[in-house]
A = this chain, B = another copy of it.
Amino acid sequence: MTALVTGFGRFGKVERNPSALIVSDLDGARIGGHDVAGRVLPVSADATPRAVRAALDETDPTLVLLLGVAPGRAALAAERVAVNVFDFDEPDNDGALPVDVPIEVDGPAAYFATLPLRAIIEAWHEAGIPGYLSDTAGTYLCNAALYTALHATADEPLPVGFIHLPSLPDEVAGNRPPEPSMPLETQIDGVRIALEATVAALVV
């Protein structure tokens, strides 16, 4: 059984994207009886959806956990929903800046994530890791990756979800006003815990 775990690389002002570092750390690991297959996705309205579908095809996962950074957020955020829209505040890595463009022209307005979000959040709190249920994954590539994965697997009983990560401490160390952050080690623990809580909920 394979857990597909994806992240993103550099974009905008984000130089060290914790999602790519976590993917690099967990790729090849065995967590909750699953082999982790890590992928770093492009930051591109054009290429992200295609890369998500390719990763699903290549890894044939039984569990999908997508990751991305959300500068300014203070805790791990388990996303509840993905909406069918690209609406960018800043250009992607290709320079594209779509406004109110559907991700899937004939797709539904939204999908709910199919991870056991409450179990994940409870497991974070038991471990002392700040985390919460978020009602918007934004309208950038993070949301698009989640929407695409849920759309591509809509007919399969596959747990699929997205966790937004705080910035790394060294990325924001000199920022004024100060911004929240979370160390990479805590983030890795949080992702491991999310994978384990998902597997535990599957078994039950």
Q: Residues 167-197 of chain A: 1 if any B CB is under 8 Å from the residue's CB, otherwise 0?
A: 0011011111111111100100000000000
Residues of B within 8 A of A136 (CB): 135-136
Taking the complex as formed, is A128 at the interface, i.e. its CB lies under 8 A from any CB of chain B?
yes
Q: How far is the CB of A35 from chain B (nearest CB, A)?
A: 29
Q: Residues 28-57 of chain A: 1 if any B CB is under 8 Å from the residue's CB, otherwise 0?
A: 000000000000000000000000000000
Residue of B nearest to A174 (CB): B125
Residues of B within 8 A of A158 (CB): none
Q: Judge whether B173 and A129 touch: CB under 8 Å.
A: yes
Q: Residues 147-182 of chain A: 1 if any B CB is under 8 Å from the residue's CB, otherwise 0?
A: 000000000000000000000011011111111111
Q: Judge whether B110 and A173 touch: CB under 8 Å.
A: no
Taking the complex as formed, is A10 at the interface, i.e. its CB lies under 8 A from any CB of chain B?
no
Listed residue (A75, A77, A131) with the most chain B CB atoms within 10 angstroms of its CB: A75
Residue of B nearest to A166 (CB): B180
Residues of B within 8 A of A139 (CB): 135
Taking the complex as formed, is A98 at the interface, i.e. its CB lies under 8 A from any CB of chain B?
no
Q: Judge whether A169 and B186 touch: CB under 8 Å.
A: yes
Q: Judge whether B173 and A124 touch: CB under 8 Å.
A: yes
Residue of B nearest to A185 (CB): B183
Residues of B within 8 A of A100 (CB): 118
Residues of B within 8 A of A77 (CB): 178
Distance in angstroms between the alpha carbons of A125 and B171 in the assembled complex: 10
Residues of B within 8 A of A87 (CB): 133
Q: Judge whether A132 and B178 touch: CB under 8 Å.
A: yes
Given contacts A108-B110, A130-B175, A135-B138, 6 further A-B contacts (CB under 8 A): A75-B179, A100-B118, A109-B109, A130-B169, A131-B178, A169-B186
